[in-house]
Amino acid sequence: MNPRITIVGGGGGVGSSLAFNLLMRPEPYDVALVDGHSGMAVSHEMDLQQVVASGATGSIEVVGAGDVLAADVVVLTAAAPLTVNRSRMVYLRDNAEILASVTAAIPPDWPGTLIVVTNPVDPLCTWLQARLGLDRRRVLGYTANDTLRLRTAVGDQLGVASSRVEAWVIGEHGDACVPLLDRVRVDGEPVALSPARASAAEEFLRGWYVRHVALDSGRSSTWTSGLGIARMIAALHGPGELWPASLVLDGEYGITGVALTVPVTLAGGGAEHIHEWDLCPRRRPPCGPAPTSSAKPSPHSEPPRGVRPPLRIAPQTQLPRGIPLSTKTKGGQTPLGFLGLRGTSNHRKYFFS
C-alpha cells in the first residue's frame, strides 16, 4: 500500500507545490488535499489528475478534514493570508486557531507523523505537540529553507554552485537563527570563510525573509518548500538521512520544552536520532579549524561530545504573555487554551493552560 499523505491547505501555493512534487517522485504516494477553499483544492486536483495521466506515480484526491486520521503523514500548510511584515510571529494567533481546528480530532496514539509548515513554525510545533500529546519525534517543523538560503549565499560568496555547498542553520526559524559558518564544506571538503564573506552570507540569510515579504507578492517560498517537504517525506521512510528540522527539545543543547531546529536523522517515520553537535559560543573569534575528514557526515554518526552552549533564542516581537485561543462554533466561541511567551534573559519559553 502506498503511503498516504494528507496536505491541509492543499489549495494554497505550498500545498499544491508539495502535491506536484510528491507525484513526481519515484516512490508512489496517495496524496489527499484538504482546504477550506474547496474550489482551489478541486482546481488543483483536476489539474494534477493529468499529471498522473502523463506518467506520474501515485494518486491525487480531495478529502474532508475528518479524513486526516487515515494519513501516514499530515502536512500542515494552512495559514492566514500573507501580509507585509518583518516577523513570522505576527501570524501566531490566527494560524494557531486554524491549526487547532484541523488537528482537533488527532488522538495521542495516532501512529502518523505531523509536519508543520505553517508559520511561526517553532511555537506552533511546541504548542501542537503539547496539545495533542504526540511523540515529540513525530511532530516536525519544516525549516530546511534556512539551510538552503545559507548554502545559496555561501555559494555566491565562493563563486561555486550552491548545490556543491554543505552548510547548516539551526535554532529559531526567524531572526535568532544560528548559521553554522564553521561547518561549511564544498564538495565534501571543509572550507573556511573569510570574515567578510561570512558576514555577507549571514546578512543574506537574515535579510531574506524581509526582502521577500517586502515584494508584497502574496506568496511564500512555494517552489522551494514544495520540493523540500516532498524530500523530507521521502526521508521519513528511507534508511536514514541527515536533515534540519524543528522539534521539541528535551535537554538537547541545554533546552527543554521548546521546539527549535536541530540536526536530526529522519527514518522510521520520525526523527530517529537527534544530533548534538559541538557549537562554538557566539561572538567567540575563530572557532578553530574545520574537521579534516573529507567525508560528508553520516546520518547515523555520533558527533564528538564536548561543551554545547545553549542556543540563543531571542524574542522577535513583543506579544501579550497569554494569547487566548478560541474557535468559532454555532454556539459562539469555544476556548482552546492559552498560548504565549514567557521570556528569560537568553531564551523564550512557551507556556500553556
Calculate mean pLDDT across residues 58-83.
89
Strand (E) positions, 87-182?
113-116, 139-142, 165-166, 169-171, 177-179
Report the C-alpha gap between 291 and 312 in whole angstroms.
Answer: 24
Task: Report pLDDT for 164.
Answer: 98
Task: Report pLDDT for 66.
Answer: 87
Task: Report pLDDT for 341.
Answer: 35
Structure confidence by residue, pLDDT tens digits, 86-135: 566 676 888 888 899 899 999 999 999 999 999 889 999 999 999 999 99
CA distances from 273 to 106, 165, 232 (A): 24, 23, 15
Report the C-alpha gap between 280 and 182 in whole angstroms.
Answer: 8
Hunting for cell 491549526 — which residue is that? 99
Strand (E) positions, 216-347?
241-250, 256-267, 270-274, 323-329, 332-343
Task: Report pLDDT for 125.
Answer: 95
As a whole-number percent, the residues of the chain with pLDDT over 90 amount to 61
pTM for the complete prediction?
0.82
Least confident among 81-95, 172-186, 264-278, 298-312: 298-312
Task: Report pLDDT for 82.
Answer: 63
Calculate mean pLDDT across residues 207-219.
79
Least confident among 124-128, 247-251, 329-333: 329-333
Calculate mean pLDDT across residues 124-148.
96
All residues at 6 or more sequence positions from 193 whose CB lies less than 8 Å from its CB, including other chains: 154, 157, 158, 181, 184, 201
CA distances from 30 to 56, 59, 142, 168, 227 (A): 11, 5, 20, 31, 17
60's enclosing H/E stretch is: strand 59-62
Q: How many other β-carbons are positioned within 10 Å of the β-carbon of residue 283? A: 6
DSSP state of 48: H
Q: Residue 264 pLDDT more than 60? A: yes
Task: Report pLDDT for 297.
Answer: 39
As a whole-number percent, the residues of the chain with pLDDT over 70 amount to 75
Task: Report yes or no: 276 and 302 within 8 Å, Cβ to Cβ.
Answer: no
Structure confidence by residue, pLDDT tens digits, 16-54: 999 999 999 999 999 999 987 668 899 999 999 999 999
Calculate mean pLDDT across residues 319-343.
39
Q: Residue 332 pLDDT more than 60? A: no
Q: Residue 293 pLDDT more than 90? A: no
Q: Which three cell numbers stand for residue 205?
A: 540569510
Mean pLDDT of the chain: 81
Task: Report pLDDT for 84.
Answer: 57
Task: Report pLDDT for 83.
Answer: 61
Calculate mean pLDDT across residues 147-162.
97
